[in-house]
Amino acid sequence: MSSQLDALRNHTTVVADTGDFEAMKALRPTDATTNPSLILKAVQQDAYRPLLEKTAREHRGASTAELMDRLLVAFGRAILDIVPGRVSTEVDARLSFDTRATIERARSLIALYEAAGVPRERVLIKIASTWEGIQAARALQSEGVRCNLTLLFSLPQAVACADAHVQLISPFVGRIYDWHKKSAGATWVEADNAGARDPGVLSVTRIYQYYKHFGIPTEIMGASFRNVGQILALSGCDLLTISPELLTKLASTEGDAPAQLRADDVPANIARIGADEVTFRTLLNDDAMASEKLSEGIRLFVADAVKLDALIEAQRA
């Protein structure tokens, strides 16, 4: 019998959520995603510190921001030598509420990739799913820069992304699960909130059904998983980005991973949601989980970006 990972590949594009090259070589994902936290973790390891050292040495006169972008692209280029598909590279989270600055930073990243001989079709620019980030993605998509809208926790965010014609969205399953579990406290019953009933799984399922019902081409990539059960419950999703730890568990477990999400099995009575700014902000504000997790996610990525800045500056010394 094949492994659950091989079975999952029959229904879903498998993406590695890591900056670890060796894990990618072993697990053979189609695409790979990175973020400031993953890159920060990687450059503190002996195996990957030379990338930081080389970047700082070859561009001593560059600003810290430029060095960060060059480091991200260095990782991205190395990843693309391993995976056959695309790599996602994230715009600095400190720009999450600045549309113009996000556009300029994304253009810079794409220019660095293209100067290195990497076609833009193999790169997804990751941007936080704030209103400002989504509008930046709208402009970038019109220029042929494909975007991955991350830190997405709600259907209104997904609808606004679709209206902006973004290439791909990354709804965060595990962080939604975390919020509901913490909110429930002592009343939480794990068995009652597992599999298809997991609140993070339910959120992605609603987005999937909405997109398929209205024929929206934006790709859906479930992200931020806490356990294998969440992954198997979303088999059939367009893509799933998975940590090396959970990919290894799937690869080492025999079994099937039948499709749970199917485009031909979508409710017929789904109501359309507005994609204008007032509707977006109102519905996001009404959703305590989505509002809190979006803000928290940005703060966490900013904190790791600041730490990465410090490592870059230390390398100059």
Residues with a known catalytic role: 126
Q: Where are the domains of the chain?
A: 4-315
d(CA 56, CA 58): 6
Taking only Cα atoms into account, the Rg of the chain, rounded to an integer number of angstroms, comes to 19
Per residue of the chain (317 residues), give pLDDT as tens.
799 999 999 999 999 999 889 999 999 999 998 887 888 899 899 989 999 999 999 998 899 999 999 999 999 999 999 999 999 999 999 999 999 999 999 999 999 999 999 999 999 999 999 999 999 999 999 999 999 999 999 999 999 999 999 999 999 999 999 999 999 999 999 999 999 999 999 999 999 999 999 999 999 999 999 999 999 999 999 999 999 999 999 999 999 999 999 999 999 999 999 999 999 999 999 999 999 999 999 999 999 999 999 999 998 76
The structure's pTM equals: 0.96
In single-letter form, the type of residue at position 100 comes to R
CA distance linking residue 225 with residue 243, whole number of Å: 8
Summary count for the chain: helices (H), strands (E): 14, 8
SS3 string, 252-315, reads: CCECCCCCCCCCCCCCCCCCCCCCCHHHHHHHHHHCHHHHHHHHHHHHHHHHHHHHHHHHHHHH
Q: Which CATH number is 4-315 given?
A: 3.20.20.70
